[in-house]
Amino acid sequence: MTTRTFAMRVYAGTYWLLAALFLYILAVLILPTLDESPETKAFLPLILVFFALFLIGAGLATFLRSAPRRRWLWLGLLIPPVLFVLMNAPFIPYPLTHPVDIAFTAILPLIVATGVLVVAGMTAFREAGDPMTTPRSGARARLAVAVVAGATAGAFATGYLAASSGGGGTALAAAPTTAGTLVAESTRYLTANYSMSSSDVLGLFVENKDSFAHSFDIDALGIHVQVPASATVAIAIKPTGSGPLEFYCAVPGHREAGMVGTIDVR
């Protein structure tokens, strides 16, 4: 067999989609945050390596004339995207469950496209080993195309709507009797310690000066609030007793970067 089947064409097209997603990740998620996050700068070379691998994989799947006869090519080219997803597995659940996070518009298409690539790759592997295979349009392959297109469009639409409606907000469960401001900048809180009386209600304005989303969390009080990029959220904090209350950002890696503090309740 020397002609690419529909599954093989889906495979190649999905690979080009992943390469385009990497350009989006670089332009929207990585480059704007290089000065704000040294950790991001450290990962830039690795991102560029994966981007190069994706371009090579897309090129081989599309232009290599002998590809339809090379069974293991279709499985071997799955290694870079699957490996990238596995390496980032700890950071994937948060943006997937928080559409207001700017990473949502990249992570959802990435996961869906990688899944489609695995299905198309396994199908192409079987077809390449069958000399009697002829080009055909399988229902599963067509469904895969629809899933990728729908998930990509849905991710961008959901992310846009969440971002446009999440420019700021409040989480006020009670009328504040005292107020304070917490600024998040360069993946850290500029003020790490506050104090208040146990009889007060602290109205805390959390201002996010970063170009990506944060959160404000106090586990002891069940407070978990999203703070969109370049937005300010008002939160009412009513203690249940005296003692220290720890607050932090739940976005993976942000707490370790310094987004953690304490409210001393007297």
- At residue 143, the pLDDT reads 58
Contacts of 264 (CB under 8 A, 6+ apart): 193, 194, 195, 196, 244
Q: How far apart are CA 208 and CA 169, in angstroms?
A: 12
Q: How far apart are CA 182 and CA 251, in angstroms?
A: 17
- At residue 226, the pLDDT reads 86
- At residue 61, the pLDDT reads 93
Tell me the pTM.
Answer: 0.65
**Checking phi first, is residue 230 left (phi over 0); if not, alpha (psi -120 to 50) or beta?**
left
- At residue 140, the pLDDT reads 56
- At residue 248, the pLDDT reads 93
DSSP states along 133-180: ------HHHHHHHHHHHHHHHHHHHHHHHHHHH-SEEEE-SS--SEEE
CA torsion through residues 82, 84, 90, 91, sign: negative
Q: How far apart are CA 169 and CA 166, in angstroms?
A: 7
- At residue 119, the pLDDT reads 87
**Most distant CA pair in the chain, distance:** 79
- At residue 147, the pLDDT reads 61
In tens digits, the chain (266 residues) has pLDDT values of: 568 888 899 899 999 989 998 888 888 777 776 766 666 677 788 888 999 999 999 999 999 999 988 989 999 999 999 999 998 887 788 777 777 666 777 888 888 889 889 988 998 898 886 655 544 445 555 555 556 556 555 555 554 444 444 444 445 556 778 888 999 988 888 888 899 998 899 999 999 988 778 889 999 988 888 888 888 898 989 988 899 999 999 888 888 888 999 999 98
Nearest-5° angle of CA 87, CA 92, CA 95?
A: 150
- At residue 135, the pLDDT reads 47
